[in-house]
Chain A
């Protein structure tokens, strides 16, 4: 190891000094003298060397590019150049131990010439007997002792450019090939780089084109510097045409410009009748399925027993846009029938598939590939394993699916859904439609809870109760002339939450009468609810009251009686009120001076509902209800000419939690009740 620690002292001892620089102080502080380049602190510049492959016995002018661009031209403008063995270079501290004795930097190590801030150049000569080995180029600046490098180079005979050929048509034997037939050819010439050559040089390559297509090269071997053998196969559909045969040698110092030589050969059409597949059965394939004994019918199939060199046994491939369909076990039963096993990848898309018999000049799509169903919400998959976000009761859950109806219609064999099947676990409805009363039509009001529609490609549902609730979807199609076939099942698991700790208490339950015209019976009741909404969802609480029944008896002094009835119906307005409290004070005024008694019984159902208001179409869901009854009777005492003998009460049951939505077909008002007396 050459090692001379100390301070750089001059040009004559540059190599020795360089050793100390690399070993002990690769980044020296700038000195006052002019320098060959300005070092960037803490960065050893990585150099690009061109040419970087040097052949033994050759001389090169070598250009060095430093992307830092800090070469200097001021005198004394020189840098010492050293070519070292890469094996002796220490990347860690920039030291080396061995200069390559087979590489001479001419005229001497100080011969680097300034070209530009990013380039310098020097000359080298490689000894004729130099072995193959990787080297490195490093520099040392005499002015400040700064170092650069390494730049990688290789000493190899491969660096010597060799042009193959020249080729002539006679160089190719045979030079006439039959379309679709495998032909083994021999190419004779010079300058071929054999496979497995001792210098490890890249071997000669071969390419053959005919028209706009490549001729298949099934195998190839560069036997020697003068001979190549190869097996080629033009397309069976090729017409009579000229093929261009080109051999290429790689240029190590100019890799984008290979050295080539070319000639021509002739392709003649085959005399073999070209096969064609006309139909496939079954021709609808679901993703993830394997179909055995798929039958391909057509013409000009060649069986194994009738196969010849010119007309080999017919082979079949399945072409799709995504390449997700494969065929195996192809068996040619006759000139018109082939069977095979078709396997469709689980991730296959909905697309057309084309069964292609080799040589078919006009294959047409003849099968459908149907993707596995996917459930999506807001455009994102929620099928396993893509979990949907948590939802709350009353929230609109609209799910779409793939494949789409339009995708099926666009298939080579157009299809339509023959069945869409959803299974939605948990208590759910497809909607809650309320038509509130209007001022013009105060009794016209309806509320309907719709069933979730489970037989369409799209689903809209609202859960009424919480839980971990799965939704599954599958679809079926019925190919023309076939029977219904169905997909696998997609599953989405929803976590549904709802208000907790729900309770309603009733109080202020009274009955009383006012004996001043119009004499009036009156009742009171108030409700107070308690509930905790799911985290992050406020929502709105509301009350809806249903009049289950009203039966009011009016007695008259002539002994007659009227009965006024009503219900079940919505109590006057929707909603009854909002918030967590509500009250009611029904009344019944007596206004007929001939009336001698009244006996009223009214039964109500007060619902507490919660609308999550998570979206514009969320619905209120029932949390439960309280059934309560108002009864009251008064009569006229003809002895005292006064009203009295009153009895009555307001009674209420306990709150009953229930997810059953209140529904009604009409509303009841005081006027409508009074009008329904007989």
Chain B
């Protein structure tokens, strides 16, 4: 049996990662490949973090440790077993996000990278979705209105722009495929498929 694959979609909120993950899953299904979509952080932790940021003054370092616990649990219970069974795992974000969002200094980014690298599997392919901050915010607000999903603390134009810069820094030494998130959904989907097969 073939070993499965780990595909990671990264990028700021509102770049259409989840839409593309679902399209990829459908495509894989048509090829008789079972796949699992996982979120980082898990929706459960995302909810807790948003609550604790609001009324508990959670420390950035505390957040990193919670993200580590959350991701370690996911890797151990879902990602590694699925890959071992020959399935594909589509991960919406991975340890890169923690480096970008919680890593306020170079030293902290290095620490975060090191801690996650102890268990985080190296992706077979990493797609980075880039977008202008204005477009990202438009999409985030639309999703918030439609689904009631919590708006993250970094989801404003200034932070979105800063985060994109940090992404570029962090990604410099990592092999990845860059995706222009402003393109039409089917176009992006085709680009993803052609780089995977």
Check if A and B associate: no
Task: Please list the residues of chain B having a beta carbon within 8 angstroms of any beta carbon in chain A.
Answer: none
Task: Please list the residues of chain A having a beta carbon within 8 angstroms of any beta carbon in chain B.
Answer: none
